[in-house]
Amino acid sequence: MTLSHHLLLRLLLLLGLLSLWHCSADSADPLGDFCNKDTKIGSEKASANIDHLLVELVSKASKNGFLATSYGSGQYLVYGLAQCRGDVGKEDCSTCIQDAAKQIRTRCPNEADARIWFDYCFLRYSNTDFIGEVDTGFGIYYYNVDNVTETERFNEELSKLMEKIRSQAVVPQNAGLGKGQTELTPFITLYALVQCTRDLSPLSCAQCLAIAVGNFPNFCENRKGCRVLYSSCYTRYELYPFFFPISSAQNFSSTQMMMVYP
């Protein structure tokens, strides 16, 4: 199935959510979630296994920034993954994963496949094995409502920067992270970051990022900022610093959110 075909099959839901978005967003506010309505938690035992899995994700991923694991057996087996963005410090990471584990169960009380996105971390669990698989079926897009003016130059520099950081992300010791910046003028700098989940092979990481960046024109054409959040990778660019170490004054940006369902 081609990408454009795939997109046509998706239901576009415009939440029309206009909000002020601070670049050091409070990690208590998730960017979005996905409760897969086709899945149900079928028993008390399955539910208890999810709780057990979440405890393990919180304790281990908070320390190492990543864990992909499973818990239980037979029909009660659950798989889980939690990961922080690679530039985020231990304390913010730990807070984020705790918030994610707390909120995912209240947001998706009945679903066996649940996912939650924050800027600093991502957490998911499922009763089917997803570990190591590229998943771009469900996506959340955030874009700045403002557009750039010099579109040709901007898009050229954006592609160059994206290409550079995508090649960093697939180097194994970078653990799926690529980040960088380009000075567009002496006063305007473009910042970008990509992050794959660490269970992916370099090839799968490259594939996920290619789909995310390939969707920039569909959702973020000429926008001053854009975020594409998938279950397997995260990409973002802004005209202000947003990744660590944050180099200068933090800024506000007006952002609109869109969710794309499979």
Ligand X SMILES: *[C@@H]1O[C@H](CO)[C@@H](O)[C@H](O)[C@H]1NC(C)=O
Q: Which residues bind ligand X (CB under 6 A)?
A: 145-147, 249, 251
Burial 178-194 (b: 16+ CB within 10 A, else e): bbbbeebeeeebbbbbb
CB-CB contact of 26 with 118 (8 Å): no
Report in angstroms how near the CB of residue 110 gets to ligand X at its nearest: 38
Report in angstroms how near the CB of residue 261 gets to ligand X at its nearest: 22
SS3 category, 163: helix
Q: Which is nearer to ligand X, 3 or 145 (CB)?
A: 145
CB-CB contact of 179 with 193 (8 Å): yes
Report in angstroms how near the CB of residue 8 gets to ligand X at its nearest: 20
Rounded to whole angstroms, the Cα distance separating 49 from 39 reads: 16
Rounded to whole angstroms, the Cα distance separating 229 from 231 reads: 7
Report in angstroms how near the CB of residue 63 gets to ligand X at its nearest: 34
Q: Which is nearer to ligand X, 9 or 145 (CB)?
A: 145
Q: Which is nearer to ligand X, 8 or 249 (CB)?
A: 249
Q: Which is nearer to ligand X, 11 or 249 (CB)?
A: 249
Q: Which is nearer to ligand X, 128 or 147 (CB)?
A: 147
Rounded to whole angstroms, the Cα distance separating 80 from 103 reads: 15
Question: Distances from the Cα of 142 to the Cαs of 19, 99, 126, in angstroms?
Answer: 11, 21, 25
Burial 49-87 (b: 16+ CB within 10 A, else e): bbeebbebbbeebbeebbbbbbbbeeebebbbbbbbbbb
Report in angstroms how near the CB of residue 9 gets to ligand X at its nearest: 23
Q: Which is nearer to ligand X, 252 or 261 (CB)?
A: 252
Q: Which is nearer to ligand X, 22 or 102 (CB)?
A: 22
Report in angstroms how near the CB of residue 201 gets to ligand X at its nearest: 37
Report in angstroms how near the CB of residue 191 gets to ligand X at its nearest: 13
